[in-house]
Amino acid sequence: MSSITDESFPEIRESVRRLCAQFPGTYWQALDRDRTYPTRFVQALTEAGFLSVLIPEAYGGSGLGLGAAIAILEEVHRSGCNGGACHAQMYTMGTLLKHGSQAQKAQYLPRIATGELRLQAFGVTEPGAGTDTTRIATTARLDGDAYVVNGQKLWISRAEHSDLMILLVRTTPRDQAAKSSDGMSVLLVDLREAVGQGLTIRPVRTMLNHATTELFFENLRVPAENLIGVEGQGFRYILDGMNAERILIASECIGDGKFFVDRASAYARDREVFGRPIGQNQGVQFPIARAHVQIAAAELMVQRAAALFDAGRPCGSEANMGKLLASEASWAAGDTCLQTHGGFGFAEEYDIERKFRETRLYQVAPISTNLILSHVATHVLGMPKSF
Q: Which residues are catalytic?
A: 245
Residue closest to 189 by CA, chosen among 204, 201, 178, 180:
201
How many Cβ atoms from other residues are within 10 Å of residue 380's Cβ? 10
CA distances from 7 to 24, 263, 302 (A): 25, 22, 15
| Cβ-count burial 178-193 (b if 16+ within 10 Å, e if not) | eeebbbbbbbbbebee
Q: What are phi and psi of 127, to 5 degrees?
A: -65, -30
Residues 6+ apart with CB under 8 A from 6: 13
Are the beta carbons of 71 and 9 closer than 8 angstroms? Answer: yes
Region of residue 275 (phi > 0: left; psi between -120 and 50: alpha; otherwise: beta): left
Are the beta carbons of 162 and 192 closer than 8 angstroms? Answer: no
Q: Which residues does residue 147 pair with via DSSP β-bridges, in sequence order?
A: 142, 222
Q: What are phi and psi of 151, to 5 degrees?
A: 150, -160
Residues 6+ apart with CB under 8 A from 222: 140, 146, 147, 149, 167, 187, 189, 194
Are the beta carbons of 179 and 116 closer than 8 angstroms? Answer: no
Task: Concatenate the DSSP letters of all residues of 43-109 into one string.
Answer: HHHHHTTSTTTTS-GGGTS----HHHHHHHHHHHHHTT--GGGTTHHHHTHHHHHHHS-HHHHHHHH
Q: Find how far residue 203's CA is from the centre of its chain.
A: 19
State whether residue 36 is helix, strand or coil.
coil
Classify residue 230 by its DSSP letter.
S
Residues 6+ apart with CB under 8 A from 53: 61, 62, 64, 68, 69, 72, 90
